[in-house]
Structure 1
């Protein structure tokens, strides 16, 4: 074109049509020649019958196709024969018919003689037309994208490994997850071998990388066409660590062995292997194998930590051991706990109380994991401690709420640590239901924090699914908590379960519809309706037989102390109780005297025969708190409660709206 401008500037006439066509044809030939001889993109020209007309020299390098032999051959046949590439003829004919290009088509080829080497090409097809618009054929461009495809495949495999490995927190399943990820995407067979210590749930010892620990085949898998793999459980020492790095400049073999290590701790090893005729592993493959092994080793470490924490959680949730034998005079109980592996902080307790009473407790921390179970253990300990104060259930919950707030404050001081340990429950809240049953008169005092399952089933089969409203959570809004008092007939059934989903009221009522059944059978039916990690407590109430209870109203006169002693001695003879009469009458004398001197009328003396133990209770209308005094040698009084404390196995005081009750428990071997 510059020549045209020079001619015009020189005053010569521009070229005519024939000359212009000749110049443009020359330019076109030059461009076409440059593209076919200098371009690094493969070019394939096909006629309308999809026969090869011409290919450039790059095609020989990309596909190994003999450029002098394929012109005139059908393209489908030529590329399948010489490059192992299968062309979709329908796609090419569609481009010929419509003129719409087909771009970025992915085709795979395996050249004859190198079938183990797979190449991926990106191809695009365009229709060729002459100046008149007649269709001449197609031109196809091709580019080898094998390296980028392999890089993307490695990234996809790494992403898959992060998604699938370590999801179960189980050592053996983690090993199998590595196998499932690597076959067939990375290897034709995979063997994961772990140390015996890891398989036993123990920490692997620190060892050098040259150490060869005892390894046991844990997980295997293969395509069926790859090398044979040992059976699970087989010892694979020492061969699995015998692999040596190839000499510089030589390719890696078709087998890779990578240790599973974290901070010098050897958990085991993994062997990846391809078929003997497959492409050898390269440096990028070795890096990928290291990444897969690193991911697996970290997940194995997490699984071991979880196993140890799960053992601790199970121990915490089974403490203290059940003491049903100490509560048989008040209730018959059945417990259920079906762990779900999530570390839910749920618990239930049956706690004997003075006066043959019993406390039924069900609670749950509103989070999961080891931190929740640790919080549960501390709250559970607090409940056991607070029951010794003989508080009403709603007052006990108020104290427990304060304990929960204190735990939250202590956790807040180390909140920054939760980044490194996200399972720590920094701000705990909890639900708890406490029911205290008195077998003397069937009185049931209940209080509730949060939402939990609580149903009262009467002996006639009628049930109250909501005997008490839900209350605020412990550590949340706080008191007042919902509370109520009932007087239940003997044989009533209390059903308590920690918070969670369901069950439907209809299904629950059906499971509890036959109160005449044994509590264990009822618990089996209800347990099937509960989700994992919930605890269940069923209690069938009892009343004390009249022959095990004696009660007298004591006149408000100190002279009545002698009469009270007579009543006690007579009743012990009638019961033939093993408690020492002298010790019992001495304790009763001191308790009655204390009530007459410092309390208020009416004064009531009650004896309860609770198996080999004897419980002495003296109630009065006064609210003054009795306290233990240590009298001086010259004092004439002040030794009453000290005597009781010395002779009794246990003693205490509890308050109610009508006054207080001072009690003492004496064993059968007293005196």
Structure 2
């Protein structure tokens, strides 16, 4: 059985609502005059009912500190859509120094007619003070904007300007950002000491000096302590007295390291800062400090990478008998890990090297430096280019193991192209790991973009690496460049246009081609030369010991004809020992060759055996075994290089070059 619920008159319900509700309920008639309003609204604003009831809405709301446009209300009254949650700012008369935000909703007030229609007889408006909600939303939006816009450039000064741009004018009328001298010079920030105020220098300012009662905004570069940030810099955001108001001062610090400080100031007519604003400032400045630290780290790495990649160019005089050379490298400090080298080799030969570590960064630049050193060291072993790459592959794998586990996706991997040119024969031996620009343009203008196939990366799948040999006519232009990360690169036609002009030197060609390549790529342009016939002497040696003496005397006579600053007896002894070893322990054919250089004389003995000679230390009673020992003692350098059909033992003798 359901009990009867006593009824409550509708009028009593409405009276209770208008007396007790915290929400402002306003009733307007068709003339947009206020006919009823909740008592709580009038009480909180100190307004008597007789001063507002019956008056036009625009006049009434003006007394509440809110501007209302009657045409908007009239549109709802005439059948337009209701207004829902419209935010309206206002300054109540009883606290004009504080701006408030109200949520206003307006609906038509209808009364049923006998014919069933419900024409509007007025309007009902609800008004709620949502100032705190709006300010909380604004603080969240500002914090989000700060995280999106501050720290995009990895530049210290630009980051300071971004902080100003984000906070003016929404959070402050004027902002001053100052950084320590150490930070501005790109040095690591120092740990902050209790009670110590470091030197801060103005870095970025924004807003109007009119909001500052204590003077105009400072100029960038001036020292700002003591004064702007108070006698001491606070450990966390706090309010500091300033003239006729206060400013919000916050440090820019990360893990106890002070990078700078920021001062916010609002205009006199704006609401003062609150505890919530202090929390917001702490969030914004903490993010800014982290971005500044990242920018500092990038700056330091940029300096290191630029220094590592800005090595001095190899003197072109060392290889001028083999190639005319142009070298181009414009390091930008982005950690491309690109390198090139030009290495003089025995026998007037020259090795041209370009390489690049695949993943950019500081560690790649360090890896590049170690690989470059390894290439230079391995080149002294006179290895064939593909053999040298095989050794370099082992070095790259070892570097990968040192940096982390074998499955590490960031393990070192590099591309490298090595080309060795012999100016005596015109032979070019070339090998390639990975991809790179590698073309030759012959004197007739024909382009060869297929000098050698691409091979696996160093540190990747490993040997065998692609290799090839070519006989190039004198005046052929070689172009080697590190690989293009983004793919693409200049077309073969554009390369040919830059290189296929035999009347131009390598340097203008390199300038044209460098403009076509992406930044950070390294480039070598080399025009091949032949050693003059007058600087080469060669003899075929019969395979018997009796042929040693005639060849030895012929070599001595040629050295005297050349008028070199070398002891003929020294040359005679070296020739005698090398030819004797080739005849006795090698295989035919045996060839003796002398190469005259500006500072060295090179003696080369080639034979058809692949047996490796080695330096022995003969005992006092031994009748032999001193040949290579004599060569190593009398010459300045000696070595062996192997070919497919034999080997060449060589020795270099330094010449006495007149000073000046």
- Name the TM-score, length of structure 2 as normaliser: 0.90
Contact 1:379/1:404, CA 8 A, preserved across alignment: yes
Partner of 1:82: 63
Indicate whether 1:665 and 2:652 are aligned: yes
**Alignment match, 1:40:** 22
Q: Counterpart of 2:466? A: 482
Q: Which residue is 2:187 aligned to?
A: 202
Structure 1 position 131 matched with structure 2 position 112: yes
Q: Deviations over 1:69-95 (max 9, x none)?
A: 33344434543x334534465654443
- Offset of residue 657 of structure 1: 0.7
Per the TM alignment, residue 409 of structure 1 is displaced from its structure 2 partner at its CA by 2.3
CA–CA distance in 2 between the matches of 1:295 and 1:553? 78
CA displacement, residues 161-180 of structure 1 (integer Å, 9 cap, x when unaligned): 22222222222222222222
Measured in 1, the distance between the counterparts of 2:205 and 2:183 equals 17
Of residues 161, 182, 191, the one that matches 2:167 is 182
Correspondence for 1:647: 634
* Pick aligned residue for 1:504 from 471, 484, 490: 490
Give the equivalent residue in structure 1 for 2:289.
297
Report the 3-state secondary structure (helix = DSSP H, G, I; strand = E; otherwise coil) of the residue aligned with 2:530: coil
Measured after TM superposition, the shift of residue 592 of structure 1 is: 1.3
Tell me, what secondary structure is at the counterpart of 2:178?
strand
- Alpha-carbon distance between aligned partners in 2 of 1:77 and 1:536, rounded to the nearest angstrom: 79
Confirm or deny: 8 A CA contact 1:337 1:535 kept in the other structure. yes
Distance in 2 separating the partners of 1:332 and 1:377? 26
- Cα distance change, pair 222–462 in 1 and its aligned pair in 2 (3 A): farther
Q: 1:336 maps to what in 2?
A: 328
Change (3 A) 1:585 1:54: farther
Specify the alignment match of 2:508 in structure 1: 521
Distance in 2 (alpha carbons) for counterparts of 1:330 and 1:84:
90
Structure 2: distance between partners of 1:76 and 1:513: 84
Deviates more, 1:371-380 or 1:253-262: 253-262
Contact 2:440 2:451 (8 Å CA) reproduced = yes
Aligned pair partner of 1:31 in 13, 16, 30:
13
Taking a change above 3 Å as real, the CA distance of residues 146 and 623 of structure 1, as seen in their structure-2 partners, is same
Range moving further from structure 2, 500-509 or 518-527: 500-509
3-state DSSP class of the match of 1:231? coil
Find out whether 1:169 has 2:154 as its counterpart: yes
RMSD of aligned residue pairs (Cα, Å):
2.9
Larger mean Cα displacement after TM superposition, 254-263 or 625-634:
254-263
Cα distance in 2, alignment partners of residues 274 and 486 from structure 1 = 76
Cross-structure match for 1:568: 555
SS in structure 2 at match of 1:85:
coil
Q: Distance in 1 between matches of 2:373 and 2:340?
A: 12
1:470 to 435, 454, 464: 454
Report the TM-score, using the length of structure 1 for normalisation.
Answer: 0.88
1:15 maps to: none
1:236 matched to 2:224? The reply is yes
Which shows bigger deviation, 477-486 or 319-328? 319-328
Equivalent position of 1:309 in the other structure: 301
Q: Supply the distance in 2 between the matched residues of 1:288 and 1:151 (Cα, whole angstroms).
A: 10
Q: Deviations over 1:464-517 (max 9, x none)?
A: 334333222222222222222222222222222212243331443333343432
Instruction: Give, in whole Å, the separation in 2 of the partners of 1:664 and 1:528.
Output: 42
SS where residue 461 of structure 1 aligns? Answer: coil
Q: Give me the whole-angstrom Cα distance separating, in 2, the residues matched to 1:149 and 1:437.
A: 75
1:62 to partner: Cα distance: 7.8
544-553 vs 218-227, which deviates more? Answer: 218-227
CA contact (8 A) 2:413 2:460 kept: yes
Distance 1:432 1:226, change over 3 A: farther
Q: Please list the CA deviations of residues 590-644 of structure 1 after superposition, one character each: whole Å capped at 9, or x if unmatched.
A: 2112211211111111111222111211111000011111222222221211222
1:417-466 superposed Cα distances (whole Å, 9 cap, x missing partner): x9xxxxxx742222111111111122111112222222212223332334
What SS is found at the alignment partner of 1:266?
Answer: strand
CA distance in 2, matches of 1:610, 1:384: 22
Matches within 5 A, 1:419-434: 426-434=410-418
Can you give the 5+ residue segments of structure 2 that lack an aligned partner in the other structure?
A: none
2:584 corresponding residue in structure 1: 597
> Within 2, Cα distance between the matches of 1:312 and 1:29?
83
The residue number in structure 2 matching 1:11 is none
Q: Look up the SS of the partner of 2:394 in the other structure.
A: helix
SS of residue matched to 2:548: helix
Find the counterpart in structure 2 of residue 17 from structure 1. none
Alignment of 1:451-466 (within 5 A): 451-466=435-450
- Tell me the distance in 2 between the aligned counterparts of 1:643 and 1:61: 116
| 2:141 is the counterpart of 1:160 | no
Aligned to 1:370: 362
Distance in 1 (CA, whole Å) between partners of 2:401 and 2:42 is: 75
